């Protein structure tokens, strides 16, 4: 019986608690060894799978080791080097632009503020949050990717639709020391159970809390549409 707890705070706490038990090793799945590699991997991962990004970056990181390397790159060659990544032509332009700005304004290093990061081409608040959290240990917000967006809506934790609005809505409700874990727990759950097209509500450890559960609700609150 999918019934959410009385308050959003209680619902969040219970969700986090159960998902920690279910996915104790949940963390970022992109491979990187430096902050620059992290930044590049996260830029490449927009609308692309982490698995594909990891395949491509294996060679890319051997060839491009510094901001100078990206700044000096031939854009067409760079696009070829990231072929297989969604929007590889655009992203090659972003990477070259990022290399240039890092060199000109940050001594070749990856900056550690939200403003400086979001000034880089191809870097929005979500990408910046990931880089701050995993590159600088600075947790300024909650990363809202497609899994977080979908599942928080399904679980009745937010009615907002845009990632930025969802983040703002969740920040007062999710305990600050869980902001980073919250994203990874929901991503793990989104990949394993609560998938976009065919969530496995029967086997979901959150089923009794979920107002979208297919077992006793008609509507997917993420899309607002009737379950097919
Ligand atoms: S799998 Fe089903 S019950 Fe579980 S969180 Fe997703 S929609 Fe809710």
The whole-model pTM stands at: 0.86
Residue 70 pLDDT more than 80? yes
Domains and CATH numbers, the chain: 8-26+143-223 (1.10.1670.10), 35-136 (1.10.340.30)
% of the chain surpassing 90 pLDDT:
99
Of 91, 96, 126, 214, which one is the catalytic site residue?
A: 126
CB 2 within 8 A of CB 212: yes
| 3-class DSSP string for 62-100 | HHCCCHHHHHCCCHHHHHHHCCCCCCHHHHHHHHHHHHH
The token pair at 31 is: 């491979």
pLDDT, tens digit, for every residue of 123-160?
Answer: 999 999 999 999 999 999 999 999 999 999 999 999 99
Q: Is the pLDDT of residue 36 over 90?
A: yes
Pocket test for ligand 1, best of 23, 155, 201, 215 (most atoms within 8 A of CB): 201
CA–CA distance, 73 with 103 (Å, rounded to integer): 13
């Amino acid at each position: 019986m999918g019934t959410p707890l009385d308050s959003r705070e209680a619902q969040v706490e219970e969700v986090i608690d159960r998902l920690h038990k279910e996915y104790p090793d949940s963390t970022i799945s992109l491979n990187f060894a430096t902050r620059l590699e992290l930044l590049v991997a996260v830029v490449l991962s927009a609308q692309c799978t982490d698995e594909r990004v990891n395949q491509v970056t294996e060679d890319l990181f051997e060839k491009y080791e510094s901001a100078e390397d990206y700044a000096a790159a031939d854009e067409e060659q760079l696009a070829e080097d990231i072929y297989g990544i969604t929007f590889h032509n655009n992203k090659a332009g972003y990477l070259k632009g990022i290399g240039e700005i890092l060199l000109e304004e940050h001594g070749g290093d990856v900056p550690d503020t939200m403003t400086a990061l979001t000034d880089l081409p191809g870097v929005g608040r979500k990408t910046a949050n990931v880089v701050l959290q995993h590159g600088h240990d600075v947790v300024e917000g909650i990363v809202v990717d497609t899994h977080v967006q979908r599942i928080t809506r399904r679980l009745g934790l937010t009615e907002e639709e845009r990632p930025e609005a969802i983040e703002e809505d969740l920040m007062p409700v999710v305990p600050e020391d869980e902001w980073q874990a919250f994203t990874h727990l929901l991503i793990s759950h989104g990949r394993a159970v609560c998938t976009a097209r065919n969530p496995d509500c029967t086997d979901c450890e959150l089923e009794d809390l979920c107002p979208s559960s297919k077992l006793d609700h008609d509507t997917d609150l993420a899309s607002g549409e009737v379950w097919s």
